[in-house]
Amino acid sequence: MDRAGRVVLPKSIRDLLGLEPDEELDIAVDGTGIRLQPRSRPRRQLVEVDGWPVIGSVIDHVTTDADVQALRDADRR
């Protein structure tokens, strides 16, 4: 932690959690430690339309290439 109280999360952790620059985190005291948790984001659901998987809509959100990649990767696990 620096003098201003800022904490830097290692890139490997940011990548694992899918955190983007300027993303907001919730902070909570957890026993004698601190827990940082990404603010909840709208979750996208895969729905089936005419036998094809389609990404369901979320109001006020645009589907990005990163969204599609994350869903594709999650399905491979």
Residues 33-70: pLDDT tens digits? 999 888 876 666 778 889 898 877 766 667 788 878 88
Query: Rounded to whole angstroms, what are the CA distances from 7 to 1, 10, 67?
Result: 5, 10, 27
Q: For the whole model, what pTM was predicted? A: 0.46
Residues of the chain with CATH 2.10.260: 1-41
pLDDT score, position 43:
64
Question: How many Cβ atoms are within 10 Å of 9's Cβ, its own excluded?
Answer: 13
pLDDT score, position 49:
87
Looking at the domain 1-41, which fold is it?
Pemi-like Protein 1; Chain: D (2.10.260)
